[in-house]
Structure 1
Amino acid sequence: MSQIPEPKMFPDIQSLATTDINDNPLAIALYQAIEYAPMGIAIFNQDMQYLAVSHKWLEIYKLTKDIIGKSHYEIFPDVPEKWKQIHQKCLAGANAHNNADYFPRADGSGEWVNWSIRPWHLATGEVGGIMIFSENITQRKQTEEDLRESNTLLRSILNSTPDYIVVKDVQGQYVTLNSNAANFMGRAVEEIIGKNDFELMPLEVARKYTIQDQQIITTGINTTDEEYLCSADGQINGTFRTTKTPWQDTDGNILGVIALASDISDRKQAEEDLRHSNTLIRSVLDSTPDFIFVKDCQGRYVTVNTEMANFLGKSIDEIVGKDDTEIFSSDVVSEIRAKDHEIMTTGKTEIFEEDVSFGTVKTTFLTTKAPWRDAQGNILGLIGITRNISDRKQTEEDLRESNTLLRSILESTPDFIVVKDCQGRHVALNSNLANLIGKPIEDIIGKVDTEILPLDFGQKIMAQDRHIMTTGNTKTFEEDISSGGINGTFLTTKAPWRDHQGNIIGLIGITRNISDRKQAELALQKK
């Protein structure tokens, strides 16, 4: 049996570079460790000649393996003077590093790099050269920037709604909230984050909210209530419709509570007046949660929300996979199926009223039906949102479908949504607004209001928008419109669109047609 030679220990990297490494397993391991390191590594002598490099270094700088022994400045003749100075400092014994350094390329592109330079020493203690460690972090930096932009746009959209939105963790501490909720509590958003209700509200109010939140976290069941809400000083501040739902991660674990509160004080007062007048208008102002469903091309239910399941008196599992003939009475099925076939055949969204009977009870619904499409635009079925227009309640449902399904559901909302830049050009809008204007979305993007609406009407809107973007304030207002084929009374909220640094880069507008409600109020006043 041959005797295994004892490994030779080398006093320094220079010795490793000039010795036959095949005689030393340690040298082989060290060279392979450098060669296959997951980051760019290059080792130089005092003359900045390459002694060793990793594959990653060659890959990052698009080099070949025949650079060993060559000067770094020969390989990169355009090395800036500042880098030569850094190299010399490190060759003199200094360390240098930068966690995120931007390197522009000659072609106009650039890369973010995390780099570190350290000297290596001979056995005598003298500096034998330097080691450069380099990691390309461009993708990470881009991901961070994309996340900041996404969060900024999300906050801008949240702050453009008149509702109050808060998110708490399982300990009851506020994770985030919109500016409306912060204003309601009489504090800045930053003063609320990280605190719980006991630190912000009177004891009895905090105890009430904590009990409600813990019930959501424990049961995992959504709740929707009409209630009086108290501000931070304990004063009742109106009647609100509050929806609380568990905040879950992608695995379904409950992380806390999401709460959305809509101020329905005015509507509740109108309902009270309508009850005293005993008129049919009561059915318009009374509100119930929306019912949401998805069907495939054969008319089978793919999914439904719990509100619809509860209304039908069935569980979701009892509905999924069935068609309307197995759920509704025969006298309404033919009409429903005819409308569904029309939507899936034409590919058009329709909003219409329909009467559905359950036993002796007849209810009128306002239904929006739209084609359900995949990422390529192929029609897979239809999506329906049904609202009980006896109550006119605003509903919030948490649908966790794919991005394509979610986009289709958003497109079926009856509200009109628009985003404009600082020049008033349309950046984005939903199909409902495009349909209201009477033009395809592609014909509106990039244009200002005076190019797509009557001149005087367009100038009026642009003046309103400039005021919002100049003051930076959110504004909610009602307006009667009769121009360019658009007629009715609308409730509009306009808010500045800001980038992640807080700079105003445009405007977000959400408009709702409240003509029916205003007509109801007018009829009441005449009595």
Structure 2
Amino acid sequence: MTIFNTSIFATYILLPISPGNLEMILLSLLLLALAIILFLGRKYYILQHNSKRQTDSILNNIQDGVYRCDLDGNLIWVSPSALKILGVDSLEKVEHANVNDFYVDSTQREELLRRLREDGKAENYETLLERMDGRQIFVNCNASYWRDDNGKILGIEGVFRDITEQKRTKEALVESEEKYRSLVEGAAEAIFSVNYDGVFLFMNKIAARRLDGIPENFIGKTMWDLFPKHIADSQIVSIRNVFDSGIGCSSETVTILKGKKHKYITNLQPIKGNSGKISSVLGVAQDITSFVKAQQDLEIERDFVKSLIETASSLIVCLDKYATITMFNKAIEKLTGYSRDEVLGKSWADIFLPEDHCHHKINNFEDWIRKHPIDSLEGQIKTKSGELRTILWSNSTFFHPDSDDFTVIVVGQDITDRKIAEQERIESETRFNESLEYSRDILYRLNLKTNTYDYM
């Protein structure tokens, strides 16, 4: 809508100036000025109204809380988002509230005021507030003085943001990183990470110590800087296979450290970056050199003991807690006529005890062994041919530390011939004594007939 017609005023302006029309021209100019003022005023009102609507829209939709208070801390105005952060459901509930009511620690409010006095503003100030519902939250606040047109300080205005979840997430991340660091540094294995080019990106203290240094000495160096070329060439193949396939692997590797050969079990796993692509390979290397050496020594010792058992003239048998045969040497094979394959895994009582002889110790073998882990006894066994042989047994028991099982090592001596010889000796002595008594009886009777008493 047009407020005034400029052509009319132009007509008056073009008229010759005379006492009669001068008044008309001045009146027209006055009306023109008034029309311009009204036009600009309306435009300013529209702009101001739109600006207020935009400001209100921004304040209603931003996540940050905005507030204004006087110098005593009495709240004058708060934004809807500030009410939400503080757990207030209506503006009326904070009309007479004081910002000090929301501080958990009053000294934090005093620190904010100190910064304002010294710097005129406080930026990125973290503090702990208590909501209306009693829940405590961390906020990040930016505040400054609120002044009038003459620069007089009227109060404080500021913007604050709820950073509780952000802070908790950060604390959880720090805690997680600390646990990870403690785990990595406390591990007994060497842990490291390398990129596709074989450059070390990370190394824990154990790994660095085995290289006779600290992690800072080796991070940024390549595998070829630290190991002989043929070893580095071999290791980089496994690392790049993990990069290319995205699949971890585990293998035995050999490394030269301080001039000595060490054997490792190395586990390699791909590590993905923020882009989802593999950025590095994490390696965990367990030094098994001592274990391999101990295993080799154990095998040598085991072979030596096995050789002794096989060449021993004594009968050697091993039984488990159920009296099942687990070892059977050549000497007892020769005596009984049974081969090792025929008896292993079978019951000792079922094979070797005579049919008419059920030894009471076999009936409850496990209990008897636990009460007599080391003992000796004499008993008969039945050979494959049915012959009975008398054996003097000595047993020693090894109890397994990680279970209730045990192994009984039984060593025996065949005393059958000795028992027969002993029995024959006893029978011979018996016959001799009987003959002697008989002879004495005859002599006694002869003496009676001759009236001669002989005290033989």
TM-score, structure 2 normalization: 0.49
More helix by share: 2
TM-score, structure 1 normalization: 0.43
Structure (1 or 2) with the larger CA radius of gyration: 2
Larger RCO, structure (CA 8 Å, separation 6 or more)? 1
More strand by share: 1
